């Protein structure tokens, strides 16, 4: 049995926290930073934009597969050894991605990058908790959660700036100095803190079923919208494979003594409630994370830079609130904190639903700023509920499983939100067009444009553009409004958790 290592304090604790947080920041940043660089990558490597999307899909599929495996691999090889290997390989694959001379090699390196980064989030959480004394573990979760929240916001801003002004390769090269620094610090301060290893037999059948199921599902989520979902035979086939493989995977894993993913964790009430709340809230939130910048850039005339600046204020309050929530964690009922968070989400999403084509910059910034109050009181409390009472290796297993559910729900939310946005625009387009009659204000507007010198074709083209813009705005407003109501519904779910919500003990 590996002895319980001493808790850290002072400068070593600060530096280890920084190293673990930077590792998580890099991994989460990399999930969004490449999105805005796709046109540059595709053009530079001589590929179509549709082919370039595999740069994102390959990373997402590989990452989705490796995250739930983290608990089993960590028990077999040790959390410290696995974490350091993941950070080092992330640095190496980032360099390889940056120098990739063609698209096939870039996709290969992104796949490897996704595989190696999967363990970073759950292991950083487990190792951080093990380094903090019990009365300060909520503070540890606060600092950890702050990086998970802010990185997706900064990704598109940094990615857009680098792609426009330098070269797309630097969206990967920036990982190298940060990753090397995090690796050296982690290697030094995690020395002597390795966890106990258990040489359980490899669950080969479970591994194959999980790779098939998760890989197929992630493929469907990433590419379904491009080919109109189930009108494509490829998407239908992938969906059937995902359903069959994951169904058999659940049945198989529940009957194993040494499962590759410990699904019995869902027998724990708080873990189930916390994971459900995290996943459903992330489902709603990630849909709007994708939707709002697209609306600003495609319909309201914002550049990528100004769009990023408009949505960025959401990251201010989480940074300020994280240490406060962490310090008061032991004295707060986390259910009340999450309730406040969900109410703030509902208010801000309702506020967003009032947007119009004439909305000014600050009309977008202010709801985003106040949304930061919701985000700042969301991740830490739900993480504390999810991991409450977990001990030893359970923390890594529970962290990897809950993070897998959260990320998968976020991917589903993004895909569904964009699909509904486009479908509802078509509905509103038809309804708005019906209002064009010879005596309507719209007809008068056409006459005024033609009187100003426009041809009939030009005036009708301008009117069609305005109808399309209004259709997309109405569609987005509907999604924001529905999301606000669903966040209020989630309040009832979080109260199914049962205190106490003391911080878990980490991976030793």
Query: Is 1-200's fold the same as 262-508's?
Result: yes
28 compared with 272, residue with greater pLDDT = 272
Considering only CA atoms, which of 204, 475, 223, 197 is closest in space to residue 355? 475
For residue 362, what are its two tokens?
């600050």
Any residues with CB less than 8 A from the CB of 426 and at least 6 apart, and which?
471
| Phi and psi at residue 390, to the nearest 5° | -70, 145
pLDDT tens for each residue of 33-64: 777 677 778 778 877 656 666 777 778 778 87
pLDDT above 70 as % of the chain = 89
**pLDDT attached to residue 445:** 67
**pLDDT attached to residue 63:** 82
Which letter does DSSP use for residue 329 in this model?
A: G
User: What fold characterizes domain 1-200?
Assistant: Growth Hormone; Chain: A; (1.20.1250)
**CA-CA distance, 207 to 256, in Å (whole number)?**
12
**CA-CA distance, 149 to 246, in Å (whole number)?**
29
User: What fold characterizes domain 262-508?
Assistant: Growth Hormone; Chain: A; (1.20.1250)
Q: Are 272 and 396 in contact (CB under 8 A)?
A: no
**pLDDT attached to residue 181:** 92
Considering only CA atoms, which of 484, 276, 286, 297 is closest in space to residue 386? 276
Q: Which residue has the tokens 């999307």?
A: 53
Q: Where do the H-state alpha helices sit in 67-202?
A: 70-77, 79-99, 103-117, 120-131, 137-165, 170-173, 175-189
**pLDDT attached to residue 311:** 81
Over 334-359, what HEC string results?
HHHHHHHHHHHHHHHHHHHCCCCCCC
Is a pLDDT exceeding 80 seen at residue 345?
yes
Domain spans of the chain?
Answer: 1-200, 202-257, 262-508
Quickly state the pLDDT bin for 436 (edges 50, 70, 90). Answer: low
Considering only CA atoms, which of 186, 173, 29, 181 is closest in space to residue 109? 173
**pLDDT attached to residue 1:** 44
Q: Which residue has the tokens 């993913």?
A: 261
Is a pLDDT exceeding 90 seen at residue 350?
yes
Considering only CA atoms, which of 216, 35, 179, 213 is closest in space to residue 110? 35
Considering only CA atoms, which of 119, 113, 121, 116 is closest in space to residue 59? 113
For residue 242, with 0-12 CB atoms within 10 Å meaning exposed, 13-18 middle and 19 or more buried, which class applies? buried
pLDDT tens for each residue of 151-190: 777 777 787 778 777 888 898 999 999 999 999 999 988 8
The CA distances from residue 315 to 36, 257, 285, in Å, are 19, 43, 14
DSSP 91-123: HHHHHHHHH--SHHHHHHHHHHHHHHHTTHHHH
For residue 296, what are its two tokens?
């600003």
**CA-CA distance, 361 to 363, in Å (whole number)?**
5
Which letter does DSSP use for residue 35 in this model?
A: T
pLDDT above 90 as % of the chain = 18
Is a pLDDT exceeding 50 seen at residue 440?
yes
Quickly state the pLDDT bin for 192 (edges 50, 70, 90). Answer: confident
**CA-CA distance, 22 to 98, in Å (whole number)?**
20
Q: Give the mean pLDDT of the chain.
A: 82
Helix axes 379-387, 316-328, angle to 10 degrees: 40
Is a pLDDT exceeding 80 seen at residue 322?
no
The torsion angle over the Cα atoms of residues 170, 173, 175 and 176, rounded to 10 degrees, is: -160
DSSP 221-278: HHHTGGGTGGGSHHHHHHHHHHHHHHHHHHHHHHT-SS-SS-GGGGGSHHHHHHHHHH
Is a pLDDT exceeding 90 seen at residue 243?
yes
**pLDDT attached to residue 112:** 92
């Amino acid at each position: 049995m590996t002895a319980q290592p001493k808790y850290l304090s002072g400068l070593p604790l600060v530096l280890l926290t920084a190293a673990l947080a930077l590792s998580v920041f890099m991994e989460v940043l990399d999930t969004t930073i490449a999105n805005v660089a796709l046109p540059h990558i595709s053009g530079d490597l001589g590929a179509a934009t549709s082919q370039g999307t595999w740069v994102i899909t390959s990373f997402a599929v590989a990452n989705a597969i490796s995250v739930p495996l983290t608990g089993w691999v960590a028990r077999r090889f040790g959390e410290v050894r696995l974490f350091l290997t993941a950070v080092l390989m992330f640095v190496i694959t980032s360099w390889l991605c940056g120098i990739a001379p063609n698209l096939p090699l870039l996709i290969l390196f992104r796949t490897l990058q996704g595989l190696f980064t999967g363990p970073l989030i759950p292991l950083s959480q487990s190792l951080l908790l093990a380094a903090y004394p019990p009365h300060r573990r909520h503070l540890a979760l606060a600092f950890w959660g702050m990086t998970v929240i802010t990185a997706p916001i900064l990704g598109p801003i940094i990615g857009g700036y680098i792609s426009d002004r330098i070269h797309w390769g630097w969206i990967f090269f920036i990982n190298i100095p940060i990753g090397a620094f995090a690796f050296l610090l982690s290697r030094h301060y995690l020395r002597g803190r390795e966890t106990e290893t258990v040489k359980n037999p490899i669950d080969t059948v479970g591994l194959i079923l999980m790779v098939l199921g998760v890989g197929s599902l992630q493929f469907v989520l990433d590419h379904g919208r491009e080919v109109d979902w189930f009108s494509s035979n490829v998407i239908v086939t992938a969906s059937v494979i995902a359903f069959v493989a994951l169904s058999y995977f659940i049945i198989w894993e529940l009957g194993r003594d040494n499962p590759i993913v410990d699904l019995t964790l869902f027998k724990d009430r708080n873990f189930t409630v916390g994971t459900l709340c995290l996943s459903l809230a992330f489902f709603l939130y990630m849909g709007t994370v994708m939707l709002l910048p697209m609306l600003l850039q495609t319909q309201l005339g914002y550049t990528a830079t100004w769009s990023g600046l408009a949505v960025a204020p959401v990251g201010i309050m989480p940074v300020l609130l994280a240490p406060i929530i962490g310090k008061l964690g032991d004295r707060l009922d986390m259910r009340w904190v999450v309730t406040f968070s969900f109410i703030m989400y509902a208010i801000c999403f309702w506020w967003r639903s009032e947007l119009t084509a004439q909305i000014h910059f600050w009309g977008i910034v202010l709801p985003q700023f106040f949304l930061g109050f919701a985000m700042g009181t969301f991740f830490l409390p739900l993480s504390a509920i999810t991991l409450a009472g977990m001990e030893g290796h359970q923390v890594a297993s529970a962290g990897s499983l809950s993070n897998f559910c959260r990320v998968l729900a976020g991917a589903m939310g993004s895909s569904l939100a964009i699909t509904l946005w486009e479908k509802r625009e078509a509905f509103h387009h038809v309804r708005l067009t019906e209002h064009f009659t010879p005596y309507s204000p719209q007809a008068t507007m056409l006459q005024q444009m033609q009187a100003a010198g426009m041809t009939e074709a030009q005036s009708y083209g301008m009117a069609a553009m305005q109808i399309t813009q209004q259709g997309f705005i109405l569609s987005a407003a509907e999604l924001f409004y529905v999301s606000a109501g669903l966040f209020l519904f989630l309040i009832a779910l979080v109260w199914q958790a049962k205190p106490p919500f003391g911080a878990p003990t980490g991976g030793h």
